[in-house]
């Protein structure tokens, strides 16, 4: 229920424009935020077998003094590193252009082949690899912070293997997209932004479709949830049937997250035949079955409420706007600095670095809009999840509130983000707000009609 920042969105962002839209489909997960008491493994298993509600009556998000200090420090480190990363990314692209590195990479590709398609296939991966190598120290810094605050337990060997997989996958996607882009630019210098947009939409859908089958397994191990948690599978099946989006047991999986992280998560991803429910093993170890069902209910809400389609439309429009602005900015920038950077027009492969620079700035500037849209969807999914489990799980509002509390304690969620940070960075409402809302949401006792689940 919390977006996995640093995985799908990060690497697709740097690879190209499709990342502007792909955030609509990245598995959504609750920002995990605190509880002063976390059930141990035996308590969780006992609760699963008995179907017991959460033990604690949680009215607000609370942390012990030690956890509070850690959560605040962890949040500040994350916010600081984010803004440093954005600034660093812009400076890196400017230096690559001013020092003529982009032009040299283009010349190298042209020396190896006279074929324009092969030149793109050579140039794009080299530029992406260079950018990611420049960002590698910041990525490593973030992993060190995650290790220090016990959010990650992934060893450096495993971490570098995952990074290498991301790079190979990213360079492959970049080669395809950049090749298509520059062929379109050469054929239609004034309308390439529109034609490339039309081309990118089916590619995006294809990536979303195959992600559960071919991309996610590159980074984590999955096995049928039925093998280890048959009771939970039956409960999820009933919940998905009630939601009107039945998911058969063979599409429910357990992800081996505990080898890399201490964080909790569950999500529904894929579209059509690839749609599936994924539970992290950390979630099932540290929450009760009822709490896990609320998390699943939230995820089902995204499908039932049409958030996937809404998100696709929203980010597709954003992608179109970004491409058009990129097209307009490209002319102005090249007219002013193109000669000194040795970039000779928008059809020049080295212009890719200019376009990435523009998109980096646009992505940062559009973050409040994107996150505001996401917060609205996440709040509605919370409402849906609460209504879906009402009458199915005893004390459902308290169970949901306790689920937030448990996740916050483990994931060190910021107890009090500033209005600016909330506005600029939060794709979910702050956890403290979500917890209080879950605890108090009770239209039934007030004689009011539920918003979604009648």
pLDDT bucket at 205, cuts 50 / 70 / 90? confident
Residues 6+ apart with CB under 8 A from 453: 242, 243, 384, 387, 388, 390
Query: Percent of the chain scored above 90 by pLDDT?
Result: 77
Q: What is the pLDDT of residue 40?
A: 37
| Any domain includes 446 | no
| Any domain includes 301 | yes
Q: Tell me the pLDDT of the chain averaged across its residues.
A: 87
Q: What is the pLDDT of residue 128?
A: 93
Q: Taking the model in full, what pTM does it have?
A: 0.86
The two three-digit tokens of residue 49, written as one number: 């077998």
Taking only the tens place, the pLDDT of each residue in 403-450 is 999 999 999 999 999 999 999 999 999 999 999 999 999 999 999 999
Which residues form the domain of 198? 8-440
Higher-confidence residue of 200 and 38: namely 200
| Any domain includes 425 | yes
Taking only the tens place, the pLDDT of each residue in 392-401 is 999 999 999 9
Res. 21: pLDDT tops 70: no
Q: What is the pLDDT of residue 1?
A: 61
| Any domain includes 447 | no
| Any domain includes 211 | yes
pLDDT bucket at 267, cuts 50 / 70 / 90? confident
Taking only the tens place, the pLDDT of each residue in 278-296 is 999 999 999 999 999 999 9
Taking only the tens place, the pLDDT of each residue in 141-192 is 999 999 999 999 999 999 999 999 999 998 999 999 999 999 999 999 999 9
| Any domain includes 223 | yes
Q: What is the pLDDT of residue 90?
A: 95
Taking only the tens place, the pLDDT of each residue in 210-237 is 999 999 999 999 999 999 999 999 999 9
Taking only the tens place, the pLDDT of each residue in 315-348 is 889 999 999 999 999 999 999 999 999 999 999 9
| Any domain includes 452 | no
Q: What is the pLDDT of residue 56?
A: 56
pLDDT bucket at 276, cuts 50 / 70 / 90? confident
| Any domain includes 25 | yes
Residues 6+ apart with CB under 8 A from 67: 34, 36, 409, 412
What average pLDDT score do residues 48-60 get?
Answer: 54
Q: What is the pLDDT of residue 57?
A: 64
Q: What is the number of domains present in the chain?
A: 1
Query: Which CB contacts under 8 angstroms, 24+ apart, belong to 315-321?
Result: 315/20, 315/21, 315/22, 315/23, 315/24, 315/370, 316/21, 316/197, 316/201, 318/20, 318/21, 318/366, 318/369, 318/370, 319/17, 319/18, 319/20, 319/21, 319/197, 319/200, 320/193, 320/194, 320/197
């Amino acid at each position: 229920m919390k977006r996995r920042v640093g995985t799908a969105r990060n690497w697709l962002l740097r690879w190209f424009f499709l990342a502007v839209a792909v955030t609509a489909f990245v598995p959504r997960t609750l920002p995990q935020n605190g509880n002063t008491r976390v059930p141990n493994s035996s308590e969780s298993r006992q609760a699963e077998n008995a179907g017991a509600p959460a033990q604690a009556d949680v009215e607000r998000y609370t942390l012990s003094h030690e956890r509070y200090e850690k959560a605040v420090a962890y949040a500040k480190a994350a916010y600081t590193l984010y803004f440093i990363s954005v600034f660093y990314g812009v400076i890196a692209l400017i230096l690559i252009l001013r020092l003529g590195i982009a032009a040299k990479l283009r010349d190298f590709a042209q020396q190896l082949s006279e074929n324009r398609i092969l030149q793109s296939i050579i140039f794009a991966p080299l530029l992406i690899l260079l950018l990611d190598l420049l960002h590698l120290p910041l990525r490593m810094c973030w992993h060190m912070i995650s290790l220090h605050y016990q959010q990650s337990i992934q060893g450096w060997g495993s971490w570098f293997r995952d990074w290498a997989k991301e790079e190979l996958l990213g360079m492959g996607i970049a080669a395809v997209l950049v090749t298509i882009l520059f062929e379109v630019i050469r054929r239609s210098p004034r309308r390439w932004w529109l034609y490339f947009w039309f081309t990118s939409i089916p590619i995006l859908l294809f990536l979303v479709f195959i992600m559960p089958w071919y991309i996610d397994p590159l980074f984590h191990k999955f096995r049928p949830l039925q093998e280890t948690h048959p009771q939970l599978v039956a409960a999820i099946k009933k919940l998905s049937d009630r939601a009107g989006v039945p998911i058969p047991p063979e599409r429910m999986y357990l992800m081996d997250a505990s080898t890399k992280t201490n964080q909790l998560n569950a999500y529904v991803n894929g579209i059509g035949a690839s749609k599936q429910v994924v539970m992290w093993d950390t979630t099932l170890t540290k929450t009760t079955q009822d709490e896990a069902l609320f998390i699943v209910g939230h995820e089902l809400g995204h499908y039932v409420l049409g958030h996937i389609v809404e998100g696709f439309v929203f980010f597709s429009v954003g992608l179109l706007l970004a491409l058009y602005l990129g097209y307009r900015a490209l002319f102005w920038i090249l007219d002013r600095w193109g000669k000194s950077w040795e970039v000779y027009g928008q059809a020049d492969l080295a212009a890719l670095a200019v376009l990435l620079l523009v998109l980096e700035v646009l992505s940062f500037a559009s973050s409040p809009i994107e996150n505001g849209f996401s917060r609205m969807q996440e709040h509605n999914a919370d409402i849906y999840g609460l209504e879906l489990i009402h009458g199915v799980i005893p004390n459902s509002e308290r169970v949901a509130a306790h689920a937030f509390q448990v996740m916050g304690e483990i994931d060190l969620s910021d107890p009090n983000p500033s209005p600016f940070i909330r506005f600029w960075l939060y794709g979910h409402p702050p956890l403290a707000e979500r917890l209080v809302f879950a605890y108090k949401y009770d239209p039934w006792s007030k004689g009011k009609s539920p918003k979604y689940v009648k």
